[in-house]
Amino acid sequence: MKKIIIPVDFSTNSEYALETAAALAKKYNSELIVMHMLELSESIFSSSSSEKSEETAFMLMVTNKKFESFLDKPYLEDVTVTPMIKHHKVLKEVDEVANELKVDLIVMGSKGHNDHDGVFLGSNTEKVVRHSKTPLLVVKSKPSSIDFQHIVIATDFSPASAPAANTAMKLLSVLGEKVTLLHINLPNQGFLSTDEIEEKVSNFLTVTNRENWKDNVALISDYNVEEAILKYADKHNIDAIGMITEGRTGLNHLFGGSISEDLVNHSKRPVFTFRK
């Protein structure tokens, strides 16, 4: 990984993301791009040019001071850090910047729906999940380690998800010692027999040129995808969860709805998302 971008709002959870990204940067010799989206008041857009310039200059000064303090961390020693300030709080801009700079991973902090500290929470995290074509890692706590022993990737093994799954498998195979591809067979949504699932998995592994991953596949049945993934993670001591998403529509049609966003909000473990 050459470049990692971290969107920050200077909250505690943003610092968790920064510390996680710093650990990854040290291990993989990556550059960190720490980006803050300047929150300009709505009134500034109806102000005169001089007023706009004054408020923007003031906000930039305040933000630069916050950056000085925020980036003054011992774990950033020997890490290449590039601060970046964007003038508008448009969350899809995170992915636009990531694409422009050819970033390999976005790392961001979140608390989920039920907390109210910082910008990147709940629905805001979901927006980045939906828009991001760049692999995204969401963390919710201070990292104890970035040496992931076991990572699980939830997928439906559809041909449409193959490119994203390949990206996920390539990245997570570097980050984790063991990677498992997980399929949840639901009773009412696209239920498949054992033979049908095995054929689908076989075709998928052929398409992704991963025939040697046969032993890395787990097939389970449950009534709810999110609960099934979380239970599997608990049972098998999973260190991180990977999701193949469809952007605005959440996980693929088999899982339906916004399961990827829900999982990001409710999982205590780090969650990686990869968009089709």
Tens digits of per-residue pLDDT, 108-153? 988 754 444 444 444 566 677 777 889 999 999 999 889 899 999 9
Q: Could you give the 3-state DSSP secondary structure of residue 220?
A: strand
Give bridge partners of residue 258 from the DSSP assignment. none
Q: Tell me how many degrees the CA angle 230-232-238 measures, rounded to the nearest 5.
A: 85
Q: Name the helix (H) or strand (E) containing 136.
A: strand 136-139
The pLDDT score that the predictor gives to residue 48 is: 56
Q: Residue 85 — very low, low, confident or very high, per pLDDT cuts 50/70/90?
A: confident
Whether the CB-CB separation of 180 and 153 falls below 8 Å is answered with yes
The pLDDT score that the predictor gives to residue 133 is: 87
The pLDDT score that the predictor gives to residue 229 is: 95
Q: Name the helix (H) or strand (E) containing 271.
A: strand 271-275
Taking only Cα atoms into account, the Rg of the chain, rounded to an integer number of angstroms, comes to 20
pLDDT at 42 over 70: no
Give the domains, in start order, of the chain with CATH numbers.
3-139 (3.40.50.620), 148-275 (3.40.50.620)
Highest mean pLDDT among 46-55, 190-199, 249-258, 260-269: 190-199
Angle, in degrees to the nearest 10, between helices 122-131 and 93-100: 40
Mean pLDDT score, 53-81:
85
Q: Residue 53 — very low, low, confident or very high, per pLDDT cuts 50/70/90?
A: low
Closest by CA to 180, choosing from 125, 143, 235, is 235
Supply the pTM of this predicted model.
Answer: 0.85
Q: What is the number of other CB atoms lying within 10 angstroms of the CB of residue 88?
A: 10
Q: Tell me how many degrees the CA angle 201-176-249 measures, rounded to the nearest 5.
A: 55
Please give the distance of CA 161 from its chain centroid, rounded to a whole number: 17
The single-letter DSSP state of residue 80 is: -
* Beta-strand relationship, 136-139 and 271-275: antiparallel
Q: Mean pLDDT, the chain, as a whole number?
A: 83
